[in-house]
Amino acid sequence: MRRYTLNVVFCLAAVALVALAQAGALDKYVLTIITFIGINCIFAVSLNLVNGYMGEFSCGHAGFMCVGAYVGSLLSVAFFTNSNLFGAALFPPQWAPFLFPVVLLGASLAAALFGLIVALPSFHTRDDYLAIITIAANYIIISIVENIDAIGGPRGFSGMKKTVNAMSDVADLPWMLIWTIFGFFVCVMTIYRLMTSTYGKGISAVCQNEVAAEIMGVNTNRVKIMAFMISSGLAGLAGALYAHVYGYVNAQAFNILKSTEGLVMVYLGGMGSISGVLMAAVAFTLLVEWLRFVIPWLNEVSHAAGLLPAGYEISQIWKWVIIPLILILLMQFRPEGFLGNRELTQVFPRLKRWITFK
Amino acid sequence: MPLLEIKGLTQRFGGLQALSNFSFHLEERELVGLIGPNGAGKTTVFNIVSGFYQSTEGDIVFDGKRIGGFRPHQVTAMGMARTFQNIRLWNDMTVLDNIRLARYSWLGYGFWSAVLRTGHYRHSEKLIETKAREVLEMMDLADYAGELPKNLPYGLQRRVELARALAGNPKLLLLDEPAAGLNSADVEDLIRHIRWIHDEFKIAIWMIEHQMKVVMSLCQRLTVIDFGCIIAEGTPEDIRNNIVVIKAYLGDEAL
Amino acid sequence: MDVFLQQCVNALQWGSFYALIALGYTLVYGVLRLINFAHGDIFMVGAYIAFFVSTMFLSPEGMFGLSRETTLALTIPLTMILTSLVGVSLERIAYRPLMRKGAHRLYVVITALMCGLILENGNLALLGASRKTLPVLLEKNIHDFGGIAVTNLKLWVILAAVLVFFFLHFIVTQTRMGMAMRAVSWDRFALPLMGIPLDSVVVFTFILGSGVAGLGGMLFAMSYPVLEPYMGAMTGWKAFIAAVVGGIGDIRGAFAGGFLLAFVEIMVAAFLPSTFRDLFAFSILLLILWLRPTGIFGKPLTTKI
């Protein structure tokens, strides 16, 4: 029984979170942060499949999140709400909680389809050339979205709050938290199970020695397509969740900076380590939020101590100086990320007694 | 019908004629050597046969099927396996995983089975595991199942690569300089292993090798190439005394 | 037709900026196999340095109060030198220790990305959001070539890019240091056998790359005098793409890619709604990479088996 500790802990934590949110014990801000951590985890773990396990350097992951966010939003608006764009709702709003997985699935499939843009050139290109293709893909996706006026173009798109409200009308639950936990579970399980199966190890084989993989019967092109599509599909899932949590999407939220955040989480955690990347995603999201409070405090303290000229205030912009600085220092101390390419259970073998995944 | 038949294979890389009109056949359960000086085109032959290069001209029939234009994984699935001159193992995967992956062509399940952990998946993985352990046992590698190949001594790495090639139950095994970089004790081991594999698995083996000791003691038949052309064929005895071969290896002055 | 030719001149000018930045990417990549993502921001730093240096020399209340011509003549070398110092310090402080520890090269790339962010945001945080305007250093003249108006500045920019190209080409092909730079990209471990320490080659490369980017930043600031901290980010990404499309690691490639990208962008913006600019530019580049996976001048990838 002890081996199931982690699974039980995860379930209990999920239930506890939902219960706390339901009881109103978590304020709205904390709830949003928790949801956002979940979304970042999905984003980072999915990028890890390509950048960690397959060893490619994809730097346009946010582009797929963008596709997922928009397709998810459009589906949800078309399904459950009366809108100018699609007219009357396709389904009664009461169905929203039950059909929402379809929205998520649609978003993932659309993003996975866009993953092909990157997968196909990867057959005869690797490394930095592929990096370019992914950056270009990111720009292209954003540019396409901004040029479609019907979905708001550069102004963004909204209306998803109505879907969330429709779900709350059916049952008053913290729905987006529930769906995020669901998405997190799906994402981690998919990648974990894939990478522990012989089928999925073909991805590592391509990374470690492509020639050997090919000769031992791995259809490298198919493996690459699969990895890119799953990775971008899960990013699409993260995007759809993001869009519904915020109730508003804008293509510029998924620009190259967002992709950079993903890269940071993957390389900070360790290439090809799910537990490492999860740790990095949580740490990174918390760091960003924590600095939001630290900076005003820092400002006050340094003014009180007379360290700063009177006219100068430490603004929130410093956040984006401090974060990269911390990351650079972290990388100097751990040049392979938190866990390298190992999992937590490999670093601390005694943990295995508590953990089992099937 | 021979297991492998190559007719008129020609390969040009730009202006370089790497192979010209190479013809060869190999019967089931034969053990044949391919030798020649450096740069003669030996590895090119293997690369074409195993599907890495597409030949400029020529025809290859393996196990009754033309395999020209096949990609390496398709050739592998038909029952051909090979090793490399410079060892190509997956260094960050355990030895056991290396062997398991050799069963990739015969997995019998796909992405959804893997993610949903269906009964089908569990059954297939169990079979793969059994098979992999069996191969490790046979190659005296069972003790190293959990090690990473990069931490093993060179001779063992060679053996792991050989084991990986065998795990796919090939009908034909291509060995590209299996003795390269081994010390003399390891070479003795290798000769024993290859002979044992040949007897035990009843498969055909075609090997490139520089060390005369290995080819002379193992091969039933030898082909010698130089500058992409076959210059001699015959039993090890014939080749040893063939003047053309000695010339190719040592130059005219040697005579 | 006139419109087209006019746009061609604009594309040449715009392409010169891309080329000057792309060169830095290509040089560093050729030596270290490192995508120096901070390079776009080095370009921005160059523009700011030019601003500070020229204001200092030009301002009549200041201690110098020099004439425009003298200021220009002093600003160019000073900007280049100071910018190279920034580039070299990045290499010294951030990249080199990491490479010494044998980190995966992508960790160095991420570090470069982070350095870029620090430069951008540090600049914004320290100097504030008010935009700086570079003083006029060059009297504007308009030359008329058969109906096409070309400012003297445009000519200077294009000329500078061409000169830099020949200069770098000379260095890489004719000098001992250039030979060493090419040697590193083939075999890093054989280099010390030639009697040239690897570190000096790397430093030299960063000096060249950053100096050229500084020149580019200054010329950019003279052409579009309003400076802002994020000006290097987008331009940098695009210049990097240009370098890859040209064939990264090859100086000719950086120029070919830079001018090609500028040409596509200017033409799309001239004849289509400007919101389509990125879409078309990137799609065309993707297409080129699809057809020639290693870029225009890149050597085809071969795997030895």
pLDDT tens for chain A, 358 residues: list them. 667 777 888 889 899 988 888 888 888 899 999 999 999 999 999 999 999 999 888 989 999 999 999 999 999 999 988 888 888 888 888 888 899 999 999 999 999 999 988 888 778 776 777 888 888 899 999 999 999 988 888 899 998 999 999 998 888 889 999 999 999 999 999 999 999 999 999 999 999 999 999 999 999 999 999 999 999 999 999 999 999 999 999 999 998 889 999 999 998 898 889 999 999 999 999 999 999 899 889 888 888 888 878 778 888 888 889 989 988 888 888 888 888 778 888 878 777 776 665 5
pLDDT value for C304: 61
pLDDT value for C300: 65
Q: Report whether pLDDT(B125) > 70.
A: yes
> What are C147-178's pLDDT values in tens digits?
788 888 899 999 999 999 999 999 988 888 88
At residue A84, what is the residue type?
A: N
C-alpha distances (whole Å) from C67 to each of A324, A337, C137, C138, C224 are 41, 54, 9, 11, 21
Confidence of residue B255 (pLDDT cuts 50, 70, 90): low
Residues of C in contact with A137 (CB under 8 A): 286
**Contact at 8 Å (CB) between B90 and A205?**
yes
At residue A114, what is the residue type?
A: F
* Coarse DSSP helix, strand, coil percentages of chain B, rounded to the nearest 5 percent: 45, 25, 35
User: Per the structure block, which two tokens stand in for A40?
Assistant: 């970042």
Residues of A in contact with B90 (CB under 8 A): 204-205, 208-209, 212-213
Instruction: Quote the radius of gyration of chain A (alpha carbons, Å).
Output: 21
Residues of B in contact with A200 (CB under 8 A): 114
User: Per the structure block, which two tokens stand in for A111?
Assistant: 């993003």
**Contact criterion met (CB < 8 Å) for C118 and A325:** yes
Chains with ≥3 Cβ pairs under 8 A against A? B, C
**Can you tell me whether residue A327 is helix, strand or coil?**
helix
Interface residues from chain B to C (CB-CB < 8 Å)? 43, 47, 52, 84
| Interface residue of A125, A143, A263, A333 to substitute, partner C, most C CBs within 10 Å | A143
pLDDT value for B246: 78
Query: What average pLDDT does range B221-227 have in this prediction?
Result: 91
Per the document, the length of chain C is 305
C100 to chain B nearest CA, in Å? 22
**Contact criterion met (CB < 8 Å) for B114 and A194:** yes
| Residue A318 at interface with chain C, using a CB cutoff of 8 Å | yes
Closest CA to C39 of C22, C54, C56, C51: C22
> B126: burial class by Cβ within 10 Å (0-12, 13-18, 19+)?
exposed
A126 to chain B nearest CA, in Å? 18
CA angle C247, C252, C253 (to 5 degrees): 20
Residue C146 covered by a domain: yes
Q: What is the dihedral of CA C2, C6, C9, C14, to 10 degrees?
A: -150
Q: Report the CATH number at residue C244.
A: 1.10.3470
Listing DSSP states for B53-106 in one string gives S--SEEEEEETTEE-TT--HHHHHHTTEEE--SS----TTS-HHHHHHHTTGGG
**In chain B, where the domains are located:** 4-254
pLDDT value for A51: 92
| Residue A299 at interface with chain C, using a CB cutoff of 8 Å | no
A162 to chain C nearest CA, in Å? 31
**Contact at 8 Å (CB) between B218 and B44?**
no
User: Per the structure block, which two tokens stand in for C291?
Assistant: 């057809």
Closest CA to B94 of B160, B38, B18, B40: B160
Q: CA-CA distance, B133 to B136, in Å (whole number)?
A: 5
pLDDT value for C288: 84
> What are A139-153's pLDDT values in tens digits?
999 999 999 988 888
pLDDT above 70 covers a percentage of chain C that reads: 97
pLDDT value for B182: 87
Nearest to A136 among C114, C120, C286 (CB): C286
Q: What is the dihedral of CA B194, B199, B201, B202, to 10 degrees?
A: 120
> What are C227-265's pLDDT values in tens digits?
888 888 888 888 988 988 888 888 898 999 999 999 999
| Interface residue of A132, A271, A314 to substitute, partner C, most C CBs within 10 Å | A132
What pTM value is reported for the model?
Answer: 0.89
Residue C304 covered by a domain: no
B210 to chain C nearest CA, in Å? 17
Residues of C in contact with B52 (CB under 8 A): 305
Q: Write phi, then psi, for B58 (nearest 5 degrees).
A: 115, 170
Task: Return all residues near B54 (Cβ < 8 A) that are at least 6 apart.
Answer: B48, B68, B69
The domain of C85 spans 2-291
pLDDT value for B94: 93
Residue C85 covered by a domain: yes
pLDDT value for B16: 83
> C287: burial class by Cβ within 10 Å (0-12, 13-18, 19+)?
exposed
Task: Return all residues near B224 (Cβ < 8 A) that are at least 6 apart.
Answer: B35, B36, B230, B231, B232, B233, B239, B242, B244, B245, B248
Residues of A in contact with B168 (CB under 8 A): 216-217
Confidence of residue B254 (pLDDT cuts 50, 70, 90): low
pLDDT value for C245: 87
Q: How many separate domains does chain C show?
A: 1
Residue C99 covered by a domain: yes
| Residue A77 at interface with chain C, using a CB cutoff of 8 Å | no
Query: What average pLDDT does range C100-123 have in this prediction?
Result: 89
Task: Return all residues near C206 (Cβ < 8 A) that are at least 6 apart.
Answer: C28, C84, C87, C88, C90, C91
Q: CA-CA distance, B233 to B236, in Å (whole number)?
A: 9
Interface residues from chain C to B (CB-CB < 8 Å)? 305
Q: Which domains does chain A have, with CATH numbers?
A: 2-255 (1.10.3470)
Query: What average pLDDT does range C57-67 have in this prediction?
Result: 76
CA angle A319, A324, A325 (to 5 degrees): 95
| Residue A220 at interface with chain C, using a CB cutoff of 8 Å | no
This complex has an ipTM of 0.88
**HSE toward the beta carbon, residue A189, CA cutoff 13 A:** 16
Residue C298 covered by a domain: no
> What are B42-85's pLDDT values in tens digits?
999 999 999 988 888 899 999 999 998 899 999 999 999 999 98
**Contact criterion met (CB < 8 Å) for A335 and C98:** yes
Q: Report whether pLDDT(C266) > 70.
A: yes
> What are C196-222's pLDDT values in tens digits?
788 888 999 999 999 999 999 999 999
Q: How far is CA B220 from the centre of its chain?
A: 17
Q: Report whether pLDDT(C127) > 80.
A: yes
| Segment holding B224, helix H or strand E | strand B221-226
Q: Report whether pLDDT(B29) > 60.
A: yes
Q: In terms of CA atoms, which chain C residue is nearest residue B176?
A: C305
**Contact at 8 Å (CB) between A145 and A68?**
no
Identify the CATH number of the domain defined by range B4-254: 3.40.50.300
A195 to chain B nearest CA, in Å? 9
**Can you tell me whether residue B180 is helix, strand or coil?**
coil
